[in-house]
């Protein structure tokens, strides 16, 4: 219970009458009257508010993409009085980033009052939405009385997908394939002079018209790749990476890569690893492969041990007979570079490795920041050393034949997708 202004004024009047009663004995007991009225009024309000019932429910999406802001609506309603004053502290689950404003409402009888709230999920899984903290103003406006309103809402946070698939207009399934260039299963490599016996379907009529002679396309069978995304679920996954943690960042990148691979008719699988491999999904094609990978990513959590990429690479090599693109999402600083180098050696030359890691944007900004205190130059030197170490690790992995890249958290998914499509065009896999 919290007293309102009316109660405070009565208390002030009681105190003044008590002081006057010390000077004039004839009014010595007069202070008891407002005090009794206050206690009676509070008792009446307590009995009245106990009979009131404020209904509340939360209207929001059943599924929340990880790291993407969404809006929910908290709806209040009451059917007891002509009007009730309510103060509500809007809450969100702990794994959500959201403002929790204090809303002052007036609820008319039989009408719904909607309060919007925007939130951004930062952790996978199912999270029970906490009930808002409510307090009601009594009928005499003497006090605020706390109450509860259960909303029974659970938010399911899932991996995010590409908001807008970036397939170019008119592009076929195979990256770089030319529509109508030779039927399904083929793609054009280059143009050449027409040879006697070339079928009509390989003639490039536009190029022939430009050059004034017949030009044919050199066709090759289109290749469908196999990809395995290895996601580090070790203890470093709990560290922050922008608005979400690193595990959440890896999960979103893996889900988007799976979406893009299926669009290009490539097979994609998933390996979760910490100090040892956790689970493996063999590469598969089509929408069911994306659904299966998203389900596995939704259920993954940070493991207490440090990730061992070398053991994960040995597991991949033993369980995958065909050549694949192995995309490993990990940290180039937390994991020992020796273990990553050993992982690249184990995977190659059978598989082609792409090692991807996020940069720390706060550290990246330190060298260019203006020094405000005596420690800032040392922080800038530490940040510069961080970048030198990161770049040195990238060069060491590339020297072993792997591809390696780093990017800011908000740009990592784009960098991974561009590298995958570039390797595909260059037929490096």
pTM for this entry: 0.75
Q: What is the pLDDT of residue 180?
A: 36
Residue 255 confidence class, pLDDT cut points 50, 70, 90: very high
Pair 351, 324: CB distance under 8 Å: yes
Task: With a cut of 80, say whether residue 250 has pLDDT above it.
Answer: yes
The whole-chain average pLDDT of the chain stands at: 85
Q: What is the pLDDT of residue 344?
A: 93
Q: What is the pLDDT of residue 89?
A: 84
Nearest to 12 by CA among 40, 35, 28, 29: 35
Residue 410 φ then ψ, to 5°:
-75, -10
**Long-range pairs for 177-186 at CB < 8 Å and ≥24 separation?**
177/222, 178/217, 181/217, 181/219, 182/217, 182/219, 185/221, 185/222, 186/219, 186/220, 186/221, 186/222
Q: Which stretches does DSSP call E strand in 81-210?
A: 83-89, 96-98, 102-108, 113-121, 125-128, 133-137, 143-147, 154-158, 186-193
Could you please state the CATH topology (level 3) that the domain comprising 226-426 is classified under. Answer: Rossmann fold (3.40.50)
For the chain, the residue count is 429
Can you read off the two tokens belonging to residue 381?
Answer: 């030197």
Task: Name the residue ranges covered by the structural domains of the chain.
Answer: 2-50, 53-158, 186-221, 226-426
Pair 67, 157: CB distance under 8 Å: no
Task: With a cut of 80, say whether residue 383 has pLDDT above it.
Answer: no
Encode pLDDT of 274-287 as tens digits.
999 999 999 998 88
Give, to the nearest 10 degrees, the angle between helix 412-426 and helix 246-263: 30
The DSSP secondary structure of 271-337, one letter per residue, reads EEESSSEEEEEEEE-SHHHHHHHHHHHHH----SSPP-HHHHHHHHHHH--S--EEEEE--TTTS-H
Encode pLDDT of 9-35 as tens digits.
999 999 998 888 888 777 778 889 999
Task: With a cut of 60, say whether residue 359 has pLDDT above it.
Answer: yes
**What's the CA gap between 245 and 123, in Å, rounded?**
7
Task: With a cut of 60, say whether residue 269 has pLDDT above it.
Answer: yes
Q: State the alpha helices, DSSP H only, in 134-279.
A: 205-211, 246-263
Encode pLDDT of 158-212 as tens digits.
998 876 544 433 333 333 333 333 444 455 557 888 887 777 878 889 889 988 9
Q: What is the pLDDT of residue 222?
A: 53
Nearest to 395 by CA among 351, 348, 347, 344: 344
Specify whether domain 53-158 bears CATH 3.90.550.10. no
Task: With a cut of 80, say whether residue 240 has pLDDT above it.
Answer: yes
Question: 43: Cβ–Cβ under 8 A, 6 or more apart, which residues?
Answer: none
């Amino acid at each position: 219970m919290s007293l309102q202004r009316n109660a405070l004024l009565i208390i002030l009047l009681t105190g003044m009458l008590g002081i006057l009663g010390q000077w004039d004995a004839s009014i010595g007991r007069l202070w008891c009257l407002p005090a009794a009225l206050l206690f009676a009024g509070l008792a009446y309000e307590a009995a009245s508010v106990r009979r009131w019932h404020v209904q509340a429910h939360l209207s929001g999406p059943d599924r929340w993409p990880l790291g993407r802001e969404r809006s929910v609506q908290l709806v209040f309603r009451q059917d007891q009085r002509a009007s009730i004053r309510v103060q509500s502290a809007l809450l969100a689950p702990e794994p959500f980033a959201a403002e929790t404003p204090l809303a002052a409402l007036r609820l008319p009888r039989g009408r719904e009052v909607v309060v919007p709230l925007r939130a951004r999920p930062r952790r996978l899984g199912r999270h029970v939405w906490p009930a808002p903290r409510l307090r009601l103003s009594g009928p005499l406006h003497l006090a605020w009385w706390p109450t509860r309103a259960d909303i029974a809402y659970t938010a399911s946070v899932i991996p995010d997908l590409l908001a807008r698939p970036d397939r170019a207009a008119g592009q076929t399934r195979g990256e770089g394939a030319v529509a109508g260039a030779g039927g399904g299963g083929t793609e054009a490599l280059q143009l050449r002079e027409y040879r006697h016996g070339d079928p009509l379907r390989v003639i490039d009529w536009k190029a022939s018209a430009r050059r004034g002679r017949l030009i044919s396309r050199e066709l090759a069978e289109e290749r469908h790749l196999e990809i395995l995304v290895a996601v580090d679920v070790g203890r470093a996954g709990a560290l922050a990476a922008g608005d979400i943690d690193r595990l959440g960042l890896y999960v979103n990148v893996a889900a988007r890569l799976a979406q893009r691979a299926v669009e290009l008719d490539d097979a994609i699988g998933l390996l979760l690893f910490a100090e040892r491999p956790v689970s493996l999904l063999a590469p598969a094609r089509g929408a069911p492969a994306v659904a299966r990978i998203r389900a596995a990513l939704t259920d993954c959590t940070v493991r207490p041990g440090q990730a061992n990429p070398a053991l994960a690479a040995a597991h991949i090599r033993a369980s995958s007979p065909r050549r694949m693109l192995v995309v490993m999402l990990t940290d180039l600083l937390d994991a020992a570079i020796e273990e990553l180098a050993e992982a690249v050696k184990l995977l190659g030359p059978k598989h082609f490795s792409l090692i991807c890691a996020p940069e720390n944007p706060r550290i990246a900004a330190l060298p260019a920041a203006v020094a405000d205190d005596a420690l800032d130059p040392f922080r800038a030197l530490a940040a510069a050393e961080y970048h030198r170490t990161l770049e040195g690790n990238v060069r060491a992995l590339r020297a072993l034949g792997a591809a390696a890249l780093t990017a800011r958290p908000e740009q990592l998914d784009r960098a991974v997708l561009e590298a995958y499509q570039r390797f595909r065009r260059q037929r490096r896999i």
